[in-house]
Amino acid sequence: MSEIIPVISATGLFTPPESVSNAELVESFNAYVDLFNARHAAEIAAGSVQELAPSSVEFIEKASGIKSRFVMAKGPVLDPETMAPRWRERTNDELSVLAEMGVKAAQDALAAAGRDARDVDAVLCACSNLERPYPAIAIEIQNALGIEGFGFDMNVACSSATFGIQTAADYIRAGNARSVLVVSPEICTGHNNMKNRDSHFIFGDVATAVLVEAKDVAPAQHWEIVGTKLKTVFSNNIRNNFGFLNCASPEGIGAPDKLFVQEGRKVFKEVVPMVAAMIVEESDRLGIEAAALRRLWLHQANQGMNRLISQRVLGHEANEDESPTVLDTYGNTSSAGSIIAFHKHNTDLGAGDLGVICSFGAGYSAGTVFVRKAA
């Protein structure tokens, strides 16, 4: 039996309609700081409560490269009394929010591939934050699209999408599926602590979809998956303790450790060398010269991190053509970031061009997907 080659047939994107600029975000954060400091004036004067410091647009742009981010609920996110996405809770008969975003991204990918949803065999919902434990969001997406077969949710934080692509590619190589949708809906503003000065600016909301298929059923315009590599190394430097066993704790679900917490500096220092080495080693194993990679679609968390990683891989500082940025307008969108970069910046490349989609984040987790444009 000849080997089945997995390819990326198409990608899809759902971008929320509303965007928040750094100026708007900082104005809201600083209004919250003023309120907090006024409400706790006596304790602050007595030294029992720490006075909060304001945020700044200049810091955010310089430290991260982020200028704005798309969000699912701009009003509540910017309201200094709320600072989180809020909407009417949907009934069990309505499509859940995450599934709705995922369906839109999936439909975009299916349309780009000219694929009928009925020809898809499996849906993997691969993302950082699922809105409920079960039934799986993937099965809800599968049902909404009219797909037979199977679906399940998987969470590897920021690396969920690349882990999902490898899982889909393995199903295809093994003959267990011919067409798999990897969907990554991310409402990062829901798990970010918008009241934390160090990280209130980091995240945005979005959904992406990647259609991974057997080469013989894929459209002519596709990207062959040349190789994938996954890596995890335990670390507490990015952590979120939210879960059903601790919601009843005295501080409850709103406690800071039940949201995203990170040691940003440590993450920066530890993840950059790990990811750069991983790309170079995997390139070697695949017989690809890392420095000759035509494009790096890197995880979108921090421009400085991407600058250093691409420098180590390519041997020089990458320009926008070699390592495109979407972080400036999307913020960090967790697992979706490298997929947005790929989605928006792949059609201009030529037949035979090689590139790598690379994610990294909590776990730590990192994933590489080496792709070659079809002739």
Q: Which residues are catalytic?
A: 158
DSSP character for 332? B
Residue 64 binds ligand COA, judged by CB under 6 A: yes
Binding mask 201-240 for ligand COA (x = CB under 6 A): -------------------------------------x--
Cα distance between residue 280 and residue 275, in whole Å: 9
Beta strands in the chain (DSSP E): 6-14, 18-21, 68-71, 122-126, 150-154, 179-187, 205-214, 223-232, 238-239, 261-262, 295-298, 354-361, 365-373
Choice from 44, 63, 255, 374 touching ligand COA (CB under 6 A): 63
Residue 371 binds ligand COA, judged by CB under 6 A: no
- Helices (H) then strands (E): counts for the chain: 11, 13
DSSP for 238-249, written as a single string: EE----TTTTTS
Given the complex with ligand COA, which of 9 and 237 has the nearer CB atom?
A: 237
Identify whether the C-beta of residue 330 lies closer than 8 Å to the C-beta of residue 183.
no
CB of 197 to ligand COA, least distance (A): 4
Choice from 265, 289, 291, 317 touching ligand COA (CB under 6 A): 265
Identify whether the C-beta of residue 328 lies closer than 8 Å to the C-beta of residue 284.
no
Phi, psi of 164 (to 5 degrees): -65, -40
Cα distance between residue 201 and residue 193, in whole Å: 9
Choice from 56, 82, 232, 235 touching ligand COA (CB under 6 A): 56
Given the rule CB under 6 A, which of 37-45, 96-104, 110-118, 298-306 is the region that contacts ligand COA? 298-306
Residue 361 binds ligand COA, judged by CB under 6 A: yes
Given the rule CB under 6 A, which of 60-68, 102-110, 130-138, 219-227 is the region that contacts ligand COA? 60-68
Cα distance between residue 311 and residue 305, in whole Å: 10
Residue 268 binds ligand COA, judged by CB under 6 A: yes
Size of the site for ligand COA (CB under 6 A): 22
Given the rule CB under 6 A, which of 75-83, 217-225, 263-271, 309-317 is the region that contacts ligand COA? 263-271
Choice from 264, 294, 311, 322 touching ligand COA (CB under 6 A): 264
Given the rule CB under 6 A, which of 92-100, 242-250, 257-265, 340-348 is the region that contacts ligand COA? 257-265
Cα distance between residue 338 and residue 356, in whole Å: 10
Choice from 301, 309, 314, 357 touching ligand COA (CB under 6 A): 301
DSSP for 5-32, written as a single string: PEEEEEEEEE--SEEEEHHHHHHHHHHH
Q: Is 3 exposed, middle or buried (0-12, 13-18, 19+ CB in 10 A)?
A: exposed
Choice from 197, 215, 294, 307 touching ligand COA (CB under 6 A): 197
Residue nearest to ligand COA (CB): 264
Positions that interact with ligand COA (CB under 6 A) = 55-56, 59-60, 63-64, 158, 197-199, 238, 262, 264-265, 267-268, 301-302, 305, 332, 361-362
